[in-house]
């Protein structure tokens, strides 16, 4: 199934806000978080993802040329697997934000550690 309303895989500057947000906030309230708490300019084209306390909803905020786009998804039964709030924000790729929207735990999606050896024996 093709998903037309998803963030593009090639989209740069995707940020995951880790703390839960009051979902009564509109684009103005979310843009205020981006500006005041994160110190980012919400008009520079970054996509910001937020979740509610129950982790069953997600909102993505994005400035597109002349207005804000607000992507909203509410799960019927399950919860989003949101990374723990070790830091205020987490940078994602377009592929990772789509994995999150599909229900994968992006916190566990880490590759093997890189090894460096000086000699074989």
Model pLDDT for residues 6-58, shown as the tens digit of each residue: 888 888 899 999 899 999 999 999 999 999 999 999 999 899 999 999 999 99
Return the domain boundaries, the chain.
Answer: 14-102
- Of 79, 56, 4, 39, the closest CA to residue 48 belongs to 39
Q: What confidence score (pLDDT) does residue 9 get?
A: 83
In terms of Cβ atoms closer than 10 Å to its own Cβ (0-12, 13-18, 19+), residue 64 is exposed
pLDDT in tens, 73-94: 998 888 888 877 676 678 888 8
Alpha-carbon span 80 to 97, nearest angstrom: 11
């Amino acid at each position: 199934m093709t998903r037309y309303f998803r963030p593009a895989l090639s989209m740069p500057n995707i940020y995951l806000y880790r703390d839960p947000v009051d979902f009564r906030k509109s684009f103005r309230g979310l843009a205020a978080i981006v500006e005041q708490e994160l110190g980012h300019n919400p008009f520079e084209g970054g996509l910001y993802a937020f979740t509610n306390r129950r982790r069953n909803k997600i909102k993505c905020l994005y400035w597109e040329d002349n207005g804000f786009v607000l992507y909203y998804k509410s799960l019927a039964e399950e919860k989003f697997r949101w990374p723990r709030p070790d830091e205020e924000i987490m940078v994602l790729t377009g592929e990772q934000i789509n994995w999150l929207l599909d229900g994968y735990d992006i916190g566990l999606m880490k590759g093997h550690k890189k090894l460096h050896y000086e000699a074989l024996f």
